[in-house]
Amino acid sequence: MKIATSRHVDPSRSTYERDGWVVAPAVLTPGESESVIAAHAQRQWPIVTDEIREWIADERWVASLEPLLGNGGRFVREQLLTKAPNADTRVPWHQDAAYVEAAAGALVTIFVALEPIDEHNGCLRMQRGSHRQGPIEHRPSGYVLEAVETPADDGVCVPLGQGDAVIFSSSLLHQSLANRTATLRRAWMLQFHIGGE
């Protein structure tokens, strides 16, 4: 399995356009990561608490998108993503665009690691450059969607330190691995609409 390292990531617009994703290191401090976890622990779904609203409105999200896309976009949705300990729960290959109606490439996902995430506890695998193929057909797979045609290779595993984020195109084909550790794995996903209304 290929694993992205700091030598392979470059938070630049050209890398984002070429690969469909970049890693933004230390977007949150460890203390801020814990605060986001605590805010979600108090949440009664689907209510968005004032504390979560404050995190959504934090200017660092838009600021992290501007160098890559030329503008910061408009917030669409957020979700706490967890993987239970010692669980073989995998999310199959898919594009986030399959879940939200929008023009191809109009959505960007910011996936923030609220604790260290690697190949042992459910890191994301990315298919470099797959965003350039545009929307692809998906089908239901349990409670999620999966690409009808899956890639021939495993893609690139993108490990993240606590507070790091991977920013990627909604058209990028990606999946997540199982959590084979004894601890819960948590990440926070925010999505933004880029461009026109």
Identify the burial level of 197 via C-beta atoms within 10 angstroms of its C-beta, where 0-12 means exposed, 13-18 middle and 19 or more buried: exposed
Reply yes or no on whether the pLDDT at 8 is more than 60: no
Give per-residue pLDDT as tens, 107-163.
899 999 999 999 999 999 999 999 999 889 999 998 899 999 989 899 999 999 999
| pTM for the full predicted model | 0.91
Euclidean distance between CA atoms 4 and 71, whole angstroms: 27
Give the neighbor-by-neighbor strand order of the sheet with 107-113: 21-24, 165-169, 107-113, 185-193, 74-83
Which domains are seen in the chain, by residue range? 2-193 (2.60.120.620)
Reply yes or no on whether the pLDDT at 103 is more than 80: no
Report yes or no: 119 and 1 within 8 Å, Cβ to Cβ.
yes
- What phi and psi values does residue 108 have, to the nearest 5 degrees? -130, 135
Identify the burial level of 165 via C-beta atoms within 10 angstroms of its C-beta, where 0-12 means exposed, 13-18 middle and 19 or more buried: buried
Q: Which residue in this structure is represented by tokens 């979700």? A: 79
Computed on alpha carbons and rounded to an integer, the radius of gyration of the chain in Å comes to 16
What's the full length of the chain, in residues? 197
- The band of 43, judged by pLDDT with boundaries at 50, 70 and 90, is confident
- Which of helix, strand or coil describes residue 71? coil
Report yes or no: 98 and 131 within 8 Å, Cβ to Cβ.
no
Instruction: Extract the tokens encoding 68.
Output: 């890559």
∠ CA 100-169-145, rounded to 5°? 45
Nearest residue to 91 (alpha-carbon basis) of 128, 146, 129: 146
Euclidean distance between CA atoms 107 and 134, whole angstroms: 12
- The pLDDT of residue 73: 80
The DSSP call for residue 144 is: E
Give per-residue pLDDT as tens, 49-61.
999 999 999 999 9
